[in-house]
Amino acid sequence: MTPHETHPDTIIERSDSFKDNIEKHQTIIEIPNEIKLIVIDHTIASTLKFVKEKLDRFYQSKDRFLIIVLWGHKSDSYMRDLNAMLQNAIDKDDGSKYLNNVKIITSEEYKTFLGFDGNFAEEFDRYEDFSFNVFRSLRLYNNMVRQSNAAQAFLRDVNEDWINFYLPQ
């Protein structure tokens, strides 16, 4: 697979604002100083083989840190197996794949990493539930469409400082 065959789900610039408002308030991931971009790869399917294939997508590099977020409940033993697989790959890597710049986390850990609590945590959980059940329920699908339309309308009407409302003060 080449870098041009895949695209990451989210790219976050590791700006001073990110460092001050997100990074320093979390204990989930230690990000090396040379990292400039944080690449997020979200996945529902999380077999060992599927996750291992993500390591070959070239999302991580000398200045890019890859966070693989596994959505849905994952047992502690399963997460240990995934992280053992990652550590084994790191041990075998000659450094050219930058696998030391990869972290596999659950959606719960991702929520904590982002600093979501209270109402934001409830909203996060609701959207995670939608992502698993939206195709099984017309009611959930319609609810999600209404919320998506409301979010788009909200974002159209706010200025670029809207994020400051959500960041720790």
What pLDDT is recorded for position 153? 86
What pLDDT is recorded for position 118? 81
Rounded CA gap, 82 and 87, in Å? 9
The residues, any chain, with a CB within 8 Å of residue 129's CB and separated by 6 or more, are none
- Burial letters for 132-164: b for 16+ Cβ neighbours within 10 Å, e otherwise? eebeeeeebeeebeeeeeeeeeeeeeeeeeeee
Token pair for 169: 């003060």
Rounded CA gap, 25 and 112, in Å? 9
Rounded CA gap, 159 and 156, in Å? 8
Ramachandran assignment for 43, one of left (phi > 0), alpha (psi -120 to 50 degrees), beta (any other) = beta
What pLDDT is recorded for position 165? 62
Rounded CA gap, 79 and 104, in Å? 8
Q: Which of 43, 33, 29, 32 is nearest to 72 (CA)?
A: 43
Rounded CA gap, 58 and 38, in Å? 13
Mean pLDDT by 10 residues, the chain (169 residues): 68 92 92 96 81 88 95 87 92 92 94 87 85 82 86 76 61
Count of CB atoms within 10 A of residue 14's CB?
A: 19
- Burial letters for 50-64: b for 16+ Cβ neighbours within 10 Å, e otherwise? ebeebbebbbbbeeb
Amino acid type, 110: Y
Q: What rounded mean pLDDT belongs to the chain?
A: 86
What pLDDT is recorded for position 159? 65
At CA 8, angle to CA 5 and CA 67, rounded to 5? 130
